[in-house]
Amino acid sequence: MRFKLKLANYHFRIEWGLPTQFNATDAFLNDWADSQKLQYSQDAGWIHWNFKIEISALAGDLARQWSYTEGVRRGYFTRDPAAYHNASVCDQWRNTTST
């Protein structure tokens, strides 16, 4: 779920996490994280919904797609939130011609 939040004159785009409806590979999650950061950083910034989530037998592997700190540990997110693994990840889907 995504929505915009307006605080004073700042617009923040909020993303709830990296979950998918399919068995995503680590390579996909790397690109997914970069593509969302690129999109959501067009406004005043972005906020990842879950900074840290429980890692336990009961929780299973939920932290893989829901925890920001686990995403950094696994390399989906860069240690510097403003940096990207691949800043061109969305280029192939951008329409560069105007009509």
- pLDDT score, position 9: 63
* Number of compact structural domains in the chain: 1
Q: Is residue 97 part of a domain?
A: no
Cα four-point dihedral sign 23, 26, 32, 33: positive
Angle at 61 between CA 81 and CA 73, to 5 degrees: 30
Alpha carbon distance 98, 70 (integer Å): 40
Q: Is residue 10 part of a domain?
A: yes
Q: Is residue 99 part of a domain?
A: no
* Domain of residue 22, residue span: 2-88
- pLDDT score, position 12: 60
67-77 burial code (b ≥16 CB/10 A, e <16)? bbebbbeeebb
Digit-coded pLDDT (tens) for 34-89: 998 888 887 777 777 788 888 889 888 888 888 889 999 999 999 998 899 999 99
